[in-house]
Structure 1
Amino acid sequence: MKLEPKMKLLKHKRTKIIATLGPACADEDSIRQMIQKGVNMFRLNMSHGEHAEHYASYQMIRNIAAACEKHIAVLVDLCGPKIRTGTFKNNQILLVKGDGVTITMRDVEGKPGLIPSQYKSLAYDVAVGQRIFLADGVMELVVEKVEGTEVYCRVLQGGMLSNHKGINLPDSVVSAPSMTEKDYDDAMFAVGLGVDFLALSFVRHVDDIHLLRAWLEQQGSNIGIIAKIERPEALDDACAIIEAADAIMVARGDLGVELPPEQVPITQDMLIKEARKQCKPVIVATQVLESMIEHARPTRAEATDIFHSVSSSADAIMLSGETAVGHYPVKAVEMMARVIINAEAYLWHQGAFCSAAVKGKAHQSALPFGNAVARSTSLLSRDLMVHGIVVLSESGWTTVTVSSERPEAPILAVTSSEETCRRMSLIWGVIPVLAEVEDMGNHVALAKRLVQTYSLAKKGDPILLVQGFHRDEANNCPSIMVLKV
């Protein structure tokens, strides 16, 4: 039997693309091209750049998205506590395996044998015998003694250490809060801009989410919170964190340093499954197309990594340095979209969509009402071979609930709220549609018109119309209508 990897592609990609803005792409032409190639959300990284630069980028995104008639979300990614090295004389030092080296909290220039730390509580957080990783885990130290502001270490794995490299403390309980003074300043800036999501770094406990939520409420803001899962402690409280957040990000950079490498893909899969179970979008991030920072083509392993994220049903995949500082930002987006579209075509032809509903295990107890109706929607989309699912959703909750069961048909998510419309651009399989309030009254006519406008169905084709989900199960009143266009 011949194996044929080429097959008919789906008309709409289901997995969303997030691109980070930076010096390589913060211009009108690049932003326009990236939107045309498939970007659904842009990330403004507060670890780099000034507010004035981010303001200019934000305005460009909004203006270009409007001109392209696309609903594009904007994410502001907060820095969190900076646990980094300081600067060195000649910008770098060599760490040799077996040598002793001191990490100091003093404000000094580094030199051979002395590493300055920007994180002033490091000496209080570490203990003898604990490991310290440097530069994304490339170098490893072990603590031998702590005295005052000095942490005396032995080099277990050496290398060249340069300015401002990350410090990871996998064996320590880090005392720094998730939100620093700079983060509050950046969050206030984001509130003023009117961005769609805030990504909270260094999340360890559900209380980190509650604190940011309470602060946003004090500012009169309902910006969506994305919890970045990048610390091992977050896994101990993962279910509660997912429940409290509006979405999660599997931040594989720091997580991959803190955890053994063999556990990272398993952790990613487990987080995706739990997020889907709770009807929360999940983003996979870090080193997705890392080689495309320098090269015009990705490695085969990177393409396979994207395929794995797609087949695991992640809602979105994020590009970081690939677009922010890489030589080929637009090509990176285009390559990401190509791999996603081909992966989804393969999975669709394999019957992998709505597989959870089809292959669902017997339940020991009844499913929550909303989840059961969402699963029924997914099954109907397959059994009736519908050409589109129209979801009416003011808050976006009906949309994310239906999407969580990964139906075979595209989802037209209709709302009269521009804010909700942009946020729904993060959700798997969703085409956000902004409708006039008066049009929302005649649901049936609106649904039939929209599926034809978006070329999903023609006269006589079956479609589904879904509405009525609510975050509070007591107020759930969902309905599914089967219509003929």
Structure 2
Amino acid sequence: MNIREANEKRRKNHVAIMLDTKGPEIRTGVLADPDNDAQLNEGQSVIITTNDDYKEKCSAERIWVDYKNITKVMSEGKIILIDDGLVGVKITQISDDEMSGVVLNSGNLGSRKGVNLPGIKVDLPAVTEKDVADLKFGVRMGVDFIAASFVRKPEDVEEIRKTLGPKGENIKIISKIENAEGLDNFDDILKATDAVMVARGDMGVEIPLEQVVLAQKMMIAKCNVAGKPVITATQMLESMIVHPRPTRAEATDVANAVMDGSDAVMLSGETAKGKYPVEAVQTMATICIGAEETLTYNDMYNTVRDSVLQMLGKVSVTETIASSAVKITNDIDAKMLITVTETGNTARLCSKYRPKPPIFAITQNKETARQLCLSWSVTPVLVGSVIGTESIIKRTIMEQKEEELLKTGDLVVTTAGRVEAQTGQTNSLIVAEV
């Protein structure tokens, strides 16, 4: 049974599908003795080569890499990190197709290991041949999001969008920021992308570790002001791959990501290969709920509102309605904010200003319903048609009362458009009592 079929059995729960591209990467070759790792010792000399004669003859003395221009972008004194930083090599001499270096720390080297070049701007393609094939597959399968690996500049996002083509024009792109170049160009990338992933794995190899937390906070804050969803990812509950409970540090990490303003936190190895995948999801959800209870929503609203007005001077009618709806919701202690949306834009704008109660986003578009799962506090409600907005909102309120999410006397704030089923027409705001 695939994800879509499983989701049909639980129609109230919308599940989005994200395709993660491999992205441009650099890898070592195959060891001459593939059955045994090569032992690299601290202080020894080693040659990094692009000569294809050594593609399957790597050893502790000579390591082939698949990036032909590595000798052009590297310079003496720079460091190459292999296998997520397990082994570091400081370059001492460079020629046409090879570089000499000194091993900085001892470690074992296997075949086809990843290579990082901290602080180096590489000229690798934004979209590889494998990425093109994967993106076309994603379009055929109707995925909701593309997680684009190693995005370094806004042109990378546009190239992915171009590859998706007309049939994939509604797929949202999540730019994974994983290196210094991506951080340097973050403001421009943010304008081009639909969402951002703070991918701390490779980032922790590409930039100094002590800077990762600062980069995380910076990116989350800017995404919040831009109103674009941001995911914090990598090693969040890493120990739960083998243990039934997380470490205290991991629990704190998840909570801090929520307090920073993340729209979502992500598990990877914990659910892909871990012994306790269900427990990992339950644990993460529990931590998130606890962290959200500590948030000061009025402060969050004011921070975003002040930043937006300072940057833009004025906003659209739709955003004015959305921000006003959130302000009223928080001020009168409303128990729910309901919005009718075709593209999801109004719901995302409401989410941007961080209302305390949940946002129920009514839409007739299945794709929109799934994609809204990524936005803070949004619960999508899929309907057959949004014609007859008033009756649809009333029915939604009654359904939530039956679910005991609302009770008689509760206040509900609603937004909609006077012209029904048209994009960009949100221009009304109503406060209703259940």
Give the length in aligned residue pairs. Answer: 419
Partner of 1:301: 249
Q: Judging changes above 3 Å, is the alpha-carbon distance between structure 1 residues 219 and 439 closer, same or farther for their aligned structure 2 residues?
A: closer
Is the Cα contact below 8 Å between 1:416 and 1:440 reproduced in 2? no
Partner of 1:47: none
Is the counterpart of residue 203 in structure 1 residue 151 in structure 2? yes
Is the counterpart of residue 66 in structure 1 residue 8 in structure 2? yes
Q: Judging changes above 3 Å, is the alpha-carbon distance between structure 1 residues 288 and 378 closer, same or farther for their aligned structure 2 residues?
A: same
Aligned equivalent of 1:417, options 365, 372, 387: 365
- Provide, for residues 246-299 of structure 1, a one-character-per-residue CA deviation record: whole Å limited to 9, x for no partner: 111011011111111111111111111111111100011111111111222111
Partner of 1:353: 297
Partner of 2:401: 452
Could you tell me how far apart the structure 2 residues matched to 1:114 and 1:277 are? 49
Partner of 2:416: 467
Is the counterpart of residue 480 in structure 1 residue 429 in structure 2? yes
Is the counterpart of residue 104 in structure 1 residue 53 in structure 2? no
Aligned equivalent of 1:212, options 157, 160, 175: 160
Could you tell me how far apart the structure 2 residues matched to 1:174 and 1:410 are? 44
Could you tell me how far apart the structure 2 residues matched to 1:121 and 1:80 are? 17
Could you tell me how far apart the structure 1 residues matched to 2:330 and 2:108 are? 55
The farther-off stretch of 391-400 and 123-132 is 123-132
Cα drift, residue 202 of structure 1: 1.4
Equivalent runs, 1:206-285 vs 2, <5 Å: 206-219=154-167, 221-285=169-233
Could you tell me how far apart the structure 2 residues matched to 1:72 and 1:102 are? 48
Cα drift, residue 138 of structure 1: 2.9
Could you tell me how far apart the structure 2 residues matched to 1:76 and 1:265 are? 26
Could you tell me how far apart the structure 2 residues matched to 1:64 and 1:221 are? 25
- Provide, for residues 128-163 of structure 1, a one-character-per-residue CA deviation record: whole Å limited to 9, x for no partner: 222111222232211112223222111123322223
Amino acid at match of 1:478: N
Could you tell me how far apart the structure 2 residues matched to 1:220 and 1:332 are? 32
Partner of 1:368: 315
Equivalent runs, 1:177-188 vs 2, <5 Å: 177-188=125-136
User: Any gaps of 5 or more consecutive residues in structure 2?
Assistant: none
Could you tell me how far apart the structure 1 residues matched to 2:433 and 2:353 are? 23
Could you tell me how far apart the structure 1 residues matched to 2:220 and 2:402 are? 33
Question: Secondary structure of the residue that 2:27 maps to in structure 1?
Answer: coil
Amino acid at match of 1:75: M
Partner of 2:355: 407
Could you tell me how far apart the structure 2 residues matched to 1:432 and 1:117 are? 47
CA RMSD of aligned residues (A): 2.2
Question: Secondary structure of the residue that 2:63 maps to in structure 1?
Answer: strand
The farther-off stretch of 214-223 and 227-236 is 214-223
Partner of 1:93: 38
User: Any gaps of 5 or more consecutive residues in structure 1?
Assistant: 1-58
Could you tell me how far apart the structure 1 residues matched to 2:61 and 2:105 are? 14
Could you tell me how far apart the structure 2 residues matched to 1:476 and 1:78 are? 35
Equivalent runs, 1:65-214 vs 2, <5 Å: 65-69=7-11, 70-88=13-31, 89=33, 90-105=35-50, 106=52, 107-214=55-162
**TM-score, normalised to structure 2's length?**
0.91
Q: Judging changes above 3 Å, is the alpha-carbon distance between structure 1 residues 67 and 143 closer, same or farther for their aligned structure 2 residues?
A: same
Is the Cα contact below 8 Å between 2:338 and 2:360 reproduced in 1? yes
Could you tell me how far apart the structure 1 residues matched to 2:336 and 2:162 are? 38
Q: Judging changes above 3 Å, is the alpha-carbon distance between structure 1 residues 160 and 282 closer, same or farther for their aligned structure 2 residues?
A: same
Q: Judging changes above 3 Å, is the alpha-carbon distance between structure 1 residues 444 and 171 closer, same or farther for their aligned structure 2 residues?
A: closer
Runs of 4+ in 1 over 4 A off after TM superposition: 358-365, 474-477
Is the Cα contact below 8 Å between 2:339 and 2:361 reproduced in 1? yes
Q: Judging changes above 3 Å, is the alpha-carbon distance between structure 1 residues 438 and 405 closer, same or farther for their aligned structure 2 residues?
A: closer
Aligned equivalent of 1:329, options 250, 274, 277: 277
Partner of 1:11: none
Q: Judging changes above 3 Å, is the alpha-carbon distance between structure 1 residues 438 and 140 closer, same or farther for their aligned structure 2 residues?
A: closer
Cα drift, residue 379 of structure 1: 2.1
Amino acid at match of 1:355: D
Could you tell me how far apart the structure 1 residues matched to 2:427 and 2:186 are? 28
Amino acid at match of 1:96: N
Amino acid at match of 2:17: V
The farther-off stretch of 368-377 and 231-240 is 368-377
Could you tell me how far apart the structure 2 residues matched to 1:440 and 1:83 are? 55
Is the Cα contact below 8 Å between 1:447 and 1:465 reproduced in 2? no
Cα drift, residue 454 of structure 1: 4.3
Could you tell me how far apart the structure 2 residues matched to 1:468 and 1:159 are? 62
Equivalent runs, 1:421-436 vs 2, <5 Å: 421-436=369-384
Question: Secondary structure of the residue that 2:343 maps to in structure 1?
Answer: coil
Larger RCO, structures 1/2 (Cα 8 Å, 6+ apart): 1
Q: Judging changes above 3 Å, is the alpha-carbon distance between structure 1 residues 154 and 438 closer, same or farther for their aligned structure 2 residues?
A: closer
Could you tell me how far apart the structure 2 residues matched to 1:410 and 1:197 are? 23
Is the Cα contact below 8 Å between 1:464 and 1:480 reproduced in 2? yes
Amino acid at match of 2:18: L
The farther-off stretch of 235-244 and 391-400 is 235-244
Q: Judging changes above 3 Å, is the alpha-carbon distance between structure 1 residues 220 and 329 closer, same or farther for their aligned structure 2 residues?
A: closer
